[in-house]
């Protein structure tokens, strides 16, 4: 009898161990739920060499595809999160059912502080964008959306200590100093809390009530007459599948509240994507967190013929603004990107640049797509030639010539502005103002201050040139470059 029992026990043990492999062909986990790409099946050989990390990579691949993974994660997080209030799955479990995205803690505690040079680079970059937009007859506004923890910090766990200042407060002060038009959305959201929840409790974004408040603030900053929807009735429903809740409970968790406004929207059509037949169904997809094909949306309002045009650079926070903006512009373009395009928008358009607080470093990690403005040479008159040398890198693109490089962190950057003097073989020179941005993807390393400028190809034809870089009251020898 004992031998039979041992045999049955052994068989059950191996059957349980083999079950995941046997069931794997019949299960498919959803990468969208965890907001990340699932690990790919590793190869034994890479580039003709044996993959020494195959076992570790295979374990990651297997763990991502194990059957019942969502259910197991949900059960584990229910115990750790709801019972013990322990943060898990990139989610901070706060008080009274409030959830926060883990990345927010860096801004909340100011552990990712910008240097003084980065703050100046941030303000200068936006001032150059606004200069370009206004020169073309448009209006510009920058919209830094606060993290939920910046508005509802009272629900953060007590062991997270809020700093007196952070990157958002630093750049707010700098934008005022440099005369950049922006919406102090953190102040507006904080002041609006008495009306009720304006952020979701279990989602990292604002709800539609918060978006309506934000929309009106943006339109006021643009100085544009607009529908306020102040008298619109709404229905509050507990039917929102929140993104942070999905991270915690991929197999199904708790629904959040959403505010649905009773607004008769003007008829419109999608120019991009093309061929949309059910406009409302497509809009619903774009406003959800499915994030499918929403990087370039173009609409045409069939009830407006006033020539109004909007160009909006946005992230996931901007999706809740879509119906309000579409309803108030004859033509509207929404680009979800980390690299603002300041060339392709129409002259006279309103330009809105929205980005959430936790993504602010992206503003100064890659330069916008914009041709460098030409400056009068007199800006260099008082600059001595004793700054040393820097390397100027050249990238020939289809749209122009990109000049970029790094400036030492130890230099005095003055007001943060960087100028490039380009001298041809006839000793004729032109001065351009560059973005004070360290192109991290192109240069690598851990630099924080540099320069990046796109020069039209008609200005830099084939030939040899010398580059001088001016910053903080000093001249730096940028060396010779050749354009082929």
User: pLDDT tens digit string along 430-477?
Assistant: 999 999 999 999 999 888 899 999 999 999 999 999 999 999 889 999
Same domain, 292 and 143: yes
User: What pLDDT score does 74 carry?
Assistant: 46
Q: Which helix (H) or strand (E) holds 471?
A: strand 463-471
Q: Which two tokens stand for residue 125?
A: 């970059």
- How far is 243 from 258, CA to CA, in rounded Å? 13
Same domain, 140 and 212: yes
Q: How many residues does the chain have?
A: 484
From 49-63, 68-82, 126-140, 281-295, the region with the lowest mean pLDDT? 68-82
Q: How confident is the model at residue 267 (pLDDT cuts 50, 70, 90)?
A: very high
Q: Which two tokens stand for residue 420?
A: 């490039």
* Structure-token match 């927010």, residue found: 104
Q: Which two tokens stand for residue 327?
A: 């309803």
- How far is 479 from 473, CA to CA, in rounded Å? 19
pTM as predicted: 0.85
Same domain, 384 and 354: no
Same domain, 114 and 200: yes
Is residue 314 within 8 A of residue 142, CB to CB? The reply is no
Choose the final residue of a domain: 334, 364, 394.
Answer: 364
Q: How confident is the model at residue 23 (pLDDT cuts 50, 70, 90)?
A: very low
Choose the final residue of a domain: 344, 364, 384.
Answer: 364
- How far is 127 from 120, CA to CA, in rounded Å? 10
Scanning 224-340, the segments in alpha helix (DSSP H) are: 243-248, 279-287, 322-326
- How far is 240 from 117, CA to CA, in rounded Å? 42
Is residue 91 within 8 A of residue 100, CB to CB? The reply is yes
SS3 222: helix
Is residue 406 within 8 A of residue 391, CB to CB? The reply is yes
Q: How many domains does the chain have?
A: 3
User: What pLDDT score does 426 carry?
Assistant: 92
Cα 115 to the center of its chain, rounded Å: 20
Same domain, 237 and 121: yes
pLDDT in tens, 396-420: 888 899 999 999 877 888 999 999 9
Q: Which two tokens stand for residue 395?
A: 């990238």
413 lies in which domain range? Answer: 374-483
**pLDDT at residue 12 above 60?**
no
Same domain, 316 and 399: no
Choose the final residue of a domain: 331, 364, 397.
Answer: 364
- How far is 252 from 105, CA to CA, in rounded Å? 26
From 19-28, 88-97, 456-465, the region with the lowest mean pLDDT? 19-28
Strands 331-336 and 296-301: antiparallel
> How many angstroms separate the first and last alpha carbons of the chain?
87
């Amino acid at each position: 009898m004992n031998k039979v029992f041992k045999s049955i026990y052994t068989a059950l043990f191996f059957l349980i161990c083999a079950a995941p492999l046997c069931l794997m062909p019949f299960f498919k986990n959803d990468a969208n739920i965890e907001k990340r790409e699932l690990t790919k099946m590793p190869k034994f050989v890479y580039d003709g060499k044996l993959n020494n990390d195959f076992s570790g990579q295979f374990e990651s691949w297997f763990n991502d595809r194990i059957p019942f993974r969502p259910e197991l994660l949900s059960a584990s997080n229910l115990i750790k999160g709801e019972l013990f209030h322990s943060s898990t799955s990139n989610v901070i479990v706060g008080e009274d059912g409030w959830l926060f995205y883990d990345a927010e803690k860096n801004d909340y505690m100011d552990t990712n502080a910008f240097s003084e040079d980065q703050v100046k680079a941030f303000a200068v970059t936006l001032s150059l964008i606004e200069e370009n937009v206004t020169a073309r007859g448009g209006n510009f506004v920058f919209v830094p959306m606060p993290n939920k923890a910046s508005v509802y910090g009272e629900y953060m766990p007590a062991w997270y200590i809020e700093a007196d200042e952070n990157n958002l407060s630093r750049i707010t002060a700098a934008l005022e100093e440099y005369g950049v038009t922006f919406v102090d959305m953190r102040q507006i959201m904080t002041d609006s809390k008495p009306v009720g929840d304006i952020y979701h409790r279990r989602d990292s974004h604002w709800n539609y009530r918060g978006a309506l408040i934000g929309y009106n603030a943006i339109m006021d900053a643009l100085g544009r007459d607009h529908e306020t929807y102040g008298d619109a009735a709404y229905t509050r429903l507990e039917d929102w599948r929140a993104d942070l809740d999905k991270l915690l409970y991929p197999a199904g968790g708790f629904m959040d509240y959403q505010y649905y406004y009773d607004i008769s929207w003007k008829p419109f059509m999608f120019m991009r994507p093309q061929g949309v037949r059910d406009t409302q169904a497509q809009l619903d997809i774009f406003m959800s967190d499915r994030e499918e094909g929403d990087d370039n949306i173009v609409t045409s309002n069939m009830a407006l013929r006033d020539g109004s045009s909007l160009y909006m650079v946005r992230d996931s926070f901007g999706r809740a603004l879509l119906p309000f903006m579409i309803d108030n512009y004859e033509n509207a373009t929404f680009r979800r990107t980390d690299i603002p395009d300041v060339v392709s928008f129409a002259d006279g358009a309103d330009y809105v640049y929205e980005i959430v607080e936790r993504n602010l470093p992206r503003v100064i990690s890659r330069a916008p797509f914009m041709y460098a403005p030409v400056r009068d040479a007199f800006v260099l008159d008082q600059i001595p030639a004793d700054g040393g040398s820097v390397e100027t890198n050249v990238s020939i693109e289809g749209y122009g010539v990109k000049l970029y490089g790094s400036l030492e962190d130890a230099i005095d950057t003055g007001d943060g502005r960087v100028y490039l003097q380009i001298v041809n073989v006839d000793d004729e020179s032109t001065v351009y103002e560059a973005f004070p941005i360290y192109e991290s993807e192109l240069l690598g390393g851990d630099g924080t201050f540099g320069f990046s400028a796109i020069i039209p190809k008609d200005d830099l034809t084939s030939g040899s040139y010398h580059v001088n870089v001016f910053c903080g009251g000093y001249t730096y020898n940028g060396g010779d470059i050749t354009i082929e």
